[in-house]
Amino acid sequence: MRVRLSKTFHFEAAHDLPTFPPGHKCRRLHGHSFRFDVVVEGEVDPASGYLIDYGDISKVVEPLVKRLDHYYLNEIEGLSNPTSENLAKWIWDGVKPLLPQLSKVIVHETCSSSCEYCGGN
């Protein structure tokens, strides 16, 4: 049986988007209550009845959350232009080596805006 699991994480952070046009509101320093979903996919182990323990997902992701929570994202290595797109890839790059079942990262910057990243370039 093939399944897809999702676990949601939260962090608060500030950023500005330096490539936006001068005068654009996102170019100014501002903050968000970010949310992101880590999605894993694979075959359920018939012996255990599950794909992966949700706690194992948390063990991989929580160190990244600690690097992001209550920080200025632009100062974090690899996030000098912390768009949702770049943030999704940054999270992917930090999770995928430790969680090979990763199939998608979804970053929710606001209640109505999100970005999905499924690997690749």
Q: Residue 77 has which token pair?
A: 């290595």
Active site residues: 26, 70, 109
In this structure, the dihedral spanned by the alpha carbons of residues 95, 99, 102 and 105, taken in order and rounded to 10 degrees, is -20
